[in-house]
Amino acid sequence: MTLSMLSKGENASLPEDVQRVDVVIGWAESEVEVDASALLLGESRKVAADSDFVFYNQPESADGSVRFLGTGVTEEGAQTRIAIDLATVPEAVHTVALAGSVGAGTFERLGKIAFRVIDGTGRTIAEYATAEATTESAFLFGEIYRRNGAWKVRAVGQGWDSGLSGLATDFGVRIDDDPAPATTPVAQPEVEPATAPSTRPATRNRGVRTAKAAAKKLKPFEPQLAEHDSWQPARLFSVVGVGAGEEQERRATSALVATMQAVRPFARALCARMGAPVGTFEGFAEVQYELGDSKVIPDAVLKVVRGSRVWTGLLEVKTGTGKLKRDQLENYLEVARRKKYDVVVSLSNDIPAGPGELPVEVDRRKLAKVALRHLSWAEVTHEARMLLSHGGIEDELQAWVLSEFLRYLVHPRSGATEFVDMGRHWVAVRDAVVAGTSRASDQKALQVADAWVSLSRHLALRLTAELGATVKHVLPRRHRTDPAARNAAVAERLATDGSFEAVLRIPDTAGDLSVIADLRTNRIRCRTTLEAPNEGTAGRRLSWLLKQLQDAPGDVRVEAVFSERGNEACELLSTVRENPKVLTQGRAGEIVSFALEQTFPMGSRRSGTAASFISSVTSATDAFYGSVVQQVREWVPAAPKQSESSPSEGDTASGE
């Protein structure tokens, strides 16, 4: 499937076999949050009723064809989603206008924003990136519209300073944001025009409210009455007696579904990743279906009710080293097609190398009517940690239930492990790299390259969950949408210089964190680069850095890059602490940037132990971030000072 990269005003046709899409608006992590919205427009480019405005307070159109899936964070960054079932969009709707809005602030603080259309597997089929928004608080990114019976997407790029209410008003929606009485919940009314058929239900005529309720943050319950530290509280999800294989999968599935039923924000966060609407969630374990002469038993059936519409997904779960099977997933897809269900979801410890990629390839013809999505246990853990650390849960009991489930997940017996295996070709490829016989075209090297990118995503997910901020694995644009080109580039570097590299972008840090695994030297190098202050002498610029590295290990290498081309200096931090001039003496020009690098030993085993390659990469990343990256902040110049000779207002007045 070809990716269409759109510029403002350009359009592209959606593939004929794609009947359901998600529209994703994504942005770099910041304190400003964006919410997606959609307007179902007729030929006049106006809504026929207020119910044709889909957003956080009215999360589904009257016919259920367009749904607001919420706002959240993934390893790709912060994002907000709208789901569109193209097959059920009413004929009277010519265009679905897709917008984003901010409740406070403007789009200027968000930088580049991506508008993406993705298919049922999560693969991007069209994208429009813009950095044009400035003072606007609402922005129309694009449209999905009909032309001669086919669906197309257009990049628009038009902003409103008047916010979501102003944008919606211009498309015919009536807004009523007057303060509601304290005893009255936020309404989600829909209003029909006077010419609407009398058979449609009567609705309130006060208009739509765009006011948004603030999320609360609660601390999970912790027992306070234990008489000794050895007393252990009773656990909601016990790991006692958990076996392996099917028993482990049943326990994990039951715990997951029960937690989703008890903690609605958690259910919504996970269901949004599956393409489900915001609604009431229910789950059922091991439901039997007949398929020909055999029975098909998915691990769970997931249902979400929103109004008169019921969304249904079949869930297949694997724990530990269990692997998903193509024939099993295709059987579930066939059952879902016959039952007119929406999606089949696979859940395992597999972390695909790129968003939208699947651990197991299936016959894509089976995806015409039913979507196939994949979640990793790492993503489930990530969502739980994000909710507990960032708020969104308003009930203390729900917070406790979710914290208990998270405690269960991180226990080794749960089977919900993190990334633990570089694949069966790891040893052969590693030895070939060391011997200098590795070649980029080797299929084994390409599979190991794919495993490295999966490990890189795993590093980003771990840091995201730990820090409560979205950590992004940085890839060239082409490699984000072309797995073959990405793996070939990784394998080429492996064959050329014997190393892997992952670049992690962490919000509010002075520079990206690069992790380089050098198989030939059996060492891991972690590195970050930051700009030096653009004022003061070289000594003062170096002093600014050293003050921030007071607690950093002495074996960190400090490299200073000067304005004169080719003029650089590098010493150990311990040496620079004793004699700062060792980096600056005799150097021409000013320091323009610093690079900080630390080296760690590399494990060689493919999986399973503290001495493994994966464990060593993970521990090196954590150590370097904690002792170096998080200690350093970007230089911020002081505010300009008034001249002492400038007259004050009082002086001016007295002289008139």
Residue pair 410/604 in contact (Cβ under 8 Å)? The answer is no
Q: Report the alpha-carbon angle 242-459-604, nearest 5.
A: 80
The residue-averaged pLDDT of 299-323 equals: 87
Q: In what order do the strands lie in the sheet with 591-601?
A: 472-473, 499-505, 513-518, 523-531, 591-601, 557-562, 568-572
DSSP symbol at 383: H
Q: Is 300 left (phi over 0), alpha (psi -120 to 50) or beta?
A: beta
600, pLDDT greater than 80: yes
Cα–Cα distance, 426 to 445 (Å, whole number): 8
Other C-beta atoms lying within 10 Å of the C-beta of residue 169 = 16
Where in 360-507 does DSSP place strands (E)? 371-376, 472-473, 499-505
Residues ≥6 apart with Cβ < 8 Å to 296: 288, 289, 290, 331, 332, 335
The residue-averaged pLDDT of 506-525 equals: 92
Cα–Cα distance, 99 to 108 (Å, whole number): 16
The residue-averaged pLDDT of 308-324 equals: 88
In terms of Cα–Cα distance, which of 570, 592, 584 is closest to 539?
584
The two structure tokens encoding residue 291? 């398929």
Helices (H), 391-425: 396-410
Distances (CA, A) of 234 to 237, 238, 239: 9, 8, 11
Mind listing the pLDDT tens digit for each residue in 28-57? 655 677 888 999 999 899 999 888 999 888
Residue 495 — pLDDT band, cuts 50, 70, 90? Answer: very high
Angle at which helix 426-435 crosses helix 483-497, to 10 degrees, equals: 40
Q: Tell me the domains of the chain and their CATH numbers.
A: 4-170 (2.60.60.30), 246-414 (no CATH), 460-631 (no CATH)
Collapsing DSSP states into helix, strand and coil, what is residue 390? helix
256, pLDDT greater than 90: yes
Mind listing the pLDDT tens digit for each residue in 145-200? 998 888 999 999 888 888 888 888 999 888 776 554 443 333 333 333 333 333 33
Residue 97: per-residue pLDDT: 94
Q: Are strands 591-601 and 557-562 parallel, antiparallel or unpaired?
A: antiparallel
Region of poorest pLDDT, from 141-150, 189-198, 299-308, 512-521:
189-198
72, pLDDT greater than 80: no
Residue pair 511/528 in contact (Cβ under 8 Å)? The answer is yes
pTM: 0.65
Collapsing DSSP states into helix, strand and coil, what is residue 426? helix
- Give the mean pLDDT of the chain: 82
Distances (CA, A) of 103 to 212, 378, 468: 8, 30, 21
Cα–Cα distance, 49 to 62 (Å, whole number): 10
Residue 192: per-residue pLDDT: 35
Residue pair 526/626 in contact (Cβ under 8 Å)? The answer is no
519, pLDDT greater than 90: yes
Residue 228 — pLDDT band, cuts 50, 70, 90? Answer: low
Residue with tokens 């589904």: 60
Q: Which neighbouring-strand residues pair with 117?
A: 23, 126
In terms of Cα–Cα distance, which of 235, 107, 217 is closest to 160?
107
* Burial of 86 from C-beta contacts in 10 A (0-12 / 13-18 / 19+): middle
Rg from Cα positions in the chain: 27
The two structure tokens encoding residue 235? 């656990």
pLDDT over 70, % of the chain: 83
Residue 184: per-residue pLDDT: 38
Residue 195: per-residue pLDDT: 35
Mind listing the pLDDT tens digit for each residue in 106-156? 787 777 788 989 887 677 888 888 767 778 888 899 999 998 888 999 999
Region of poorest pLDDT, from 252-266, 331-345, 363-377, 395-409:
363-377
The residue that leads in pLDDT, 23 or 243, is 23
Residue pair 202/190 in contact (Cβ under 8 Å)? The answer is no
